[in-house]
Chain A
Amino acid sequence: MLQFENVGLRYGLGSEVLGDLNFSVDPQSFQFLTGPSGAGKTTLMRLMLLSLRPTRGAIRVFGQDSAALSKNDLTTLRRRIGAVFQDFRLLDHLTTYENVALPLRAMGREEAGYRAEVVELLRWVGLGDRMNASPPVLSGGEKQRAAIARALIVRPELLLADEPTGNVDPGLARRLLRLFVELHRLGTAVVIATHDLQLMEQFGFARRLVVGDGKLTIFDGSSS
């Protein structure tokens, strides 16, 4: 599904911020991406989302070499990936409903065809009464859930979530994590970037990708 081969990234003429990345994300797998703050977790997530190009090495996404992708191919691939960003990246002038429906709207689907689906998902994540609210008036946790709902609405084959529980209380964090686990059981490959060790220990079956000093170390999880 996602393969990194000798991938390295540097900004400008500086030294490599990430180097010699060799790993793959298999279909229906579940992994945490962790490491200290500033280690490059978000950068690695951006590489996986193909919003950054590596300066060396090859990234293959759904069997296609990212270097050879046209813009149209990239658009098609991104529709198979759901992403939750650390800063949520919700559009402030749209309502919660519109933000969550955005990927479907971008795919050219008619509003009447997805309305019930979006409303159901929003209720499911506890935002049933906040559909008409715009992001500036949402709390951090509500924004988090709206961002997660937007990533899930297209039923992605690969879910990339950057600190998805960073702005919620521990109880809600556990419930959100359980949602990701359920998605994984339904067939979605999940990569969650977090530095919350306690949370990771609750899901010991998950593989851990640890970023540190620009390198990646992989620890397989216990069998679930």
Chain B
Amino acid sequence: MNEPLVEPLLAAEPEPGFETHAPLIPGDSVTGRALVVVIAIMTFLACLTAGAALLVADASQAWRSDVVRDAMIQVKPRPGEDVDSLVAKAVSLATQAPQVESAHALSRAESEKLLDPWLGAGLDFSQLPVPRVILVRLRGQGSEDLAPLRQALASAVPQAALDDHRMWAARLGTMADAIVTLAAALFALMIVAMGTAIGFATRGAVAGNREIVEVLHLVGASDAFIAKEFQAHFRRLGFRGALIGGLAAIAFFACASLLSVWWAHTPGGGEIAAMFGSFALRFSGYLALVAVCAAVTLLTGLLSREIVMRHLQTLQ
């Protein structure tokens, strides 16, 4: 009985730097790779939707703030009237109004020039009753009540009509809001679709790793511990997918931004830029895309943990 209890069969020292804390759920599997691809595509689409919504919202904000601060007075002369004195009277009334920052009357030549796009250049307008235009800059964000100015113009210069663009701005605003709402709904649908894919993948992973789950239970692992391991596994997959999809989306918007700079110098580019913005995300827009990627990573982990916990609770 002098023999040791268990003789070391090989007394060699352990190799330095041996693996001590590998993930308990194997990382490399066909379903895992497929989920990374699905998450990457969904993240890319979600980022595109979010970026597009931000671009539309930014463009809408820009032209709404410009347009609603501008108003226009048209003076339509009748035969025999002194148009210049009517225009001067209207300018005087406008500049006295507290809501108005400035009022500038276009000259007859400038007013006629405005008709060039429709009637062509070089025409003689001397025999035509061309309305004279007064550009009015409002003080605030266009929420001022212009009724007093309108009334004053109606009584002093009945030939003058005040147009504050509000109806047009309201329609464009409604359209932009509709686009942003649609984008938000698409974004939500993509997140739901991604959640569903994660749910399927998690259930598949739990079924595929049943042996591991059983061994973990038998060595005294709690459900929370096992769920945490699955959460870490899926968070890693989610991070990889979100990173790929997010970087692709950021590259897409960076390219679109460069192209829009080039496009702005082409015929028609200016009008499109004025309508839809410059296709250039601001820095906060890129931060929003990063936030989408972080949210996808967190969502993947948390959702899988919840699904695994529910599954384990049903096991006897």
Contacts and interface: CB of A to CB of B under 8 A. Distances in A.
B22 interface: yes
Contacts of B219: 78, 83, 102-103, 106, 150
Interface string B213-235: 01111111111010000000000
Contact of B8 (A75, A97, A126, A154): A126
Contacts of A93: 22, 26
A76 B21 CA distance: 23
Interface string A27-40: 00000000000000
A111 interface: yes
A153 to B, nearest CB: 9
A106 B222 CA distance: 7
A75 B220 contact: yes
A91 B218 contact: no
A126 B4 CA distance: 12
Contact of A95 (B7, B9, B22, B24): B22
A128 B313 contact: no
Interface in B1-37: 3, 5-15, 18-22, 24, 26
B233 to A, nearest CB: 12
Interface in A148-194: 150, 154, 175-176, 178-179, 182
B218 A132 contact: no
Contacts of A124: 5-6, 8
Interface in B177-208: none
B10 A126 contact: yes
What range describes how many residues of B lie at the interface?
A: 20 to 34
B316 interface: yes
A110 to B, nearest CB: 10
Nearest to B27: A93
A138 interface: no
B221 A106 contact: yes
Interface string B230-269: 0000000000000000000000000000000000000000
Contacts of A119: 14
A154 B220 CA distance: 10
Contact of A132 (B9, B14, B21, B26): B14
Contacts of A224: none
B220 A115 contact: no
A108 B216 CA distance: 12
Contact of B220 (A53, A78, A123, A182): A78
Contact of A91 (B10, B19, B21, B24): B24
B interface SS class? loop
Given A125-B6, A175-B5, A75 B222 contact: yes
Interface in A62-115: 71-72, 75-76, 78-79, 83, 89, 91, 93-95, 97-98, 101-103, 105-108, 111, 115
B10 A128 contact: yes
B212 interface: yes
Nearest to A118: B20
B7 A128 contact: no
Contacts of B220: 75-76, 78-79, 103, 106-107, 154
Contacts of A107: 220
Given A95-B18, A97-B20, A131-B15, A75 B221 contact: yes
B257 to A, nearest CB: 44
A51 B18 CA distance: 33
B20 A115 contact: yes
Which of B14, B219, B222 neighbours the largest number of chain A CB atoms within 10 Å of its CB?
B219
A176 B21 CA distance: 28
A49 interface: yes
10 contacts: A51-B214, A51-B218, A71-B313, A75-B217, A83-B218, A89-B215, A93-B26, A105-B24, A106-B225, A124-B8
Given A119-B14, A128-B14, 5 more contacts: A91-B212, A102-B219, A111-B20, A128-B13, A129-B13
Interface of B: 3, 5-15, 18-22, 24, 26, 211-212, 214-223, 225, 313, 316
Q: Which 7 A-B pairs have the closest CB atoms?
A: A126-B9, A106-B221, A79-B220, A129-B12, A132-B18, A103-B219, A78-B220
